[in-house]
């Protein structure tokens, strides 16, 4: 302290600069940090030993971090940080650390969900896979089932079993799924948990009419000409319906590509190839139909519904410009299975082996000067189900045996009664 006349200067505090090096580190040290998630910056003093340190931070913004070793916060923008260590009492300090630049991403990550298989067969397990950027960066995965909300053209999401706290694995297996369903996933990490956005819903489809909601197509065929007018009708225990289409990765409502009146969506234009289904106001999905739109002048006539084993099915071939078609050839999985002028392929009793891709080729004149080939269409075959009022064979066998025994007992009682009327003595002699 210096004195000039009657005035005294402020005391000057001298500090010694230490050779210890201060380093800013990030925890968790993930490859990418997102705006809004919680991270911690730590000021490490190399060779600090047992010294009691205090810490000072500098930033490139107006932020004032606490004078602690760790600084926990939620970054929202690009920012530079420096730190230094000061020995308690303030007599000695390190140099400022090198600059540490934190650049959080402003875009929330969106996971990508895939489902396999996309079309259900009886007994299939459905596998969900959730892919996210930097998959090894501490993510846990949550899995949801989509529930339709036709009133506002959206979905609500129900957490799937064993998914409350998320799973470390990026895959999840659904058991017992038999009908069309939608699924969603999201990922989270850190404490408190930072969540990604939900994935886009993905669907596993069933062509079976087993649920309480169903979709019918008119005309009843899978393939349609571009000029066709098509009606898609929903049936079931609901007063509120919407028809959805999934094509080229986009999920669109009938209000965009058709006209929804009551439970029917009519399409006079904007019909596209894709998967179509109904969603009810009670949160159910119908069977799904894979419709194919063609610009060609010929289509394969094949049923929308899966064909039940043992039943008859007729496949046809149709020209756009006229009804007459000649020299029709039918193919299954690329191989000729019928070559004549009948114009239709009849399978009298369908079996599982008849399932496959079919198409046809035909001429528009008997001379065969113009031949055209349809696109391929998948014909699905489902197992025959036993009618509910027809009990299985073991039940019938037991019922028959019990009935037979009762009949014999009644017959014996009748004989005994007749004999008793004749003579008591005769009954005893009969029994002996």
Q: Residue 320: pLDDT above 80?
A: yes
Q: What dotted CATH number matches 112-204?
A: 2.60.40.10
Return mean pLDDT, the chain: 85
pLDDT of residue 411: 61
Q: Residue 169's pLDDT is what?
A: 93
Give the Cα separation of 343 and 356 in Å (integer): 19
What band does 254 get if pLDDT is binned at 50, 70 and 90? very high
Q: What confidence tier does 392 reach under pLDDT thresholds 50, 70, 90?
A: very low
Average pLDDT of the segment spanning 23-45:
95
Q: Give the mean model confidence (pLDDT) for residues 155-159.
A: 95
pLDDT of residue 428: 31
Buried (b) or exposed (e) across 191-215, using 16+ Cβ within 10 A?
eeebbbebbebbbbbbbbbebebbb
Topology, domain 296-386: Immunoglobulin-like (2.60.40)
Query: Phi, psi at residue 26, to the nearest 5°?
Result: -110, 135
- The whole-angstrom separation of Cα 311 and Cα 198 is 44
Characterize the bridge pairing of strands 140-149 and 154-159: antiparallel
Query: Do the domains 296-386 and 14-102 match in fold?
Result: yes
CATH class in words for 14-102 = mainly beta
All structural domains of the chain with their residue ranges: 14-102, 112-204, 296-386
Name the burial class of residue 97, with classes exposed (0-12), middle (13-18) and buried (19+) by CB atoms within 10 angstroms of its CB.
buried
Q: Pick the closest to residue 107 from 28, 25, 37, 201 (CA basis).
A: 37
Residue 2 has pLDDT above 70, yes or no: no
What confidence tens digit (pLDDT) does each residue in 71-83 have?
999 999 999 999 9
Residue 356, CB-side half-sphere exposure with 13 Å CA sphere: 14
Confidence category of residue 280, pLDDT binned at 50, 70, 90: very high
What pTM did the predictor assign? Answer: 0.77
């Amino acid at each position: 302290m210096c004195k000039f006349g009657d005035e005294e200067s402020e005391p000057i505090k001298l500090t010694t600069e230490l050779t210890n090096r201060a380093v800013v580190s990030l925890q968790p040290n993930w490859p990418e940090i997102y705006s809004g998630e919680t991270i911690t910056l730590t000021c490490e003093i190399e060779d600090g030993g047992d010294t009691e340190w205090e810490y000072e931070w500098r930033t490139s913004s107006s932020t004032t971090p606490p004078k602690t070793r760790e600084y926990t916060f939620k970054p929202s923008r690009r920012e530079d940080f420096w730190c230094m260590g000061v020995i308690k009492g303030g007599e000695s300090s390190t140099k400022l650390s090198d600059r540490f630049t934190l650049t959080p991403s402003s875009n929330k990550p969106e996971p990508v969900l895939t489902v396999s298989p996309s079309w259900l067969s009886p007994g299939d397990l459905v596998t969900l896979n959730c892919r996210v950027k930097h998959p090894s960066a501490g993510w846990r995965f949550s899995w949801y089932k989509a529930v339709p909300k036709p009133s506002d053209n959206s979905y609500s999401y129900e957490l799937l079993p064993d998914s409350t706290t998320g799973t470390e694995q990026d895959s999840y297996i659904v058991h017992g799924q038999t009908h069309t369903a939608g699924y969603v996933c999201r990922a989270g990490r850190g404490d408190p948990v930072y969540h990604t956005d939900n994935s886009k819903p993905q669907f596993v489809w069933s062509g079976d009419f087993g649920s309480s909601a169903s979709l019918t197509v008119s005309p009843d065929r899978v393939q349609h000409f571009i000029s066709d007018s098509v009606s898609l009708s929903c049936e079931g225990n609901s007063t509120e319906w919407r028809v959805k289409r999934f094509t080229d990765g986009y999920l669109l409502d009938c209000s965009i590509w058709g006209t929804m009146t009551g439970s029917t969506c009519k399409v006079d234009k904007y019909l596209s190839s894709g998967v179509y289904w109904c969603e009810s106001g009670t949160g159910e999905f119908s069977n799904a139909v894979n419709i194919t739109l063609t610009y060609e002048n010929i289509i394969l006539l094949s049923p929308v519904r899966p064909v039940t084993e043992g039943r008859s099915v007729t496949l046809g071939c149709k020209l756009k410009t006229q009804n007459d078609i000649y020299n029709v050839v039918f193919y299954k999985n690329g191989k000729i299975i019928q070559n004549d002028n009948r114009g239709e392929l009849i399978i009298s009793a369908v079996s599982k082996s008849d399932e496959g891709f079919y198409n046809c080729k035909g001429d528009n004149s008997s001379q065969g000067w113009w031949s055209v080939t349809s696109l391929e269409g998948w014909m699905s075959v489902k197992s025959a189900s036993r009618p509910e009022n027809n009990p299985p064979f073991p039940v019938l066998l037991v019922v028959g045996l019990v009935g037979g025994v009762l009949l014999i007992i009644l017959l014996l009682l009748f004989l005994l009664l007749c004999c008793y009327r004749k003579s008591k003595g005769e009954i005893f002699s009969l029994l002996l």
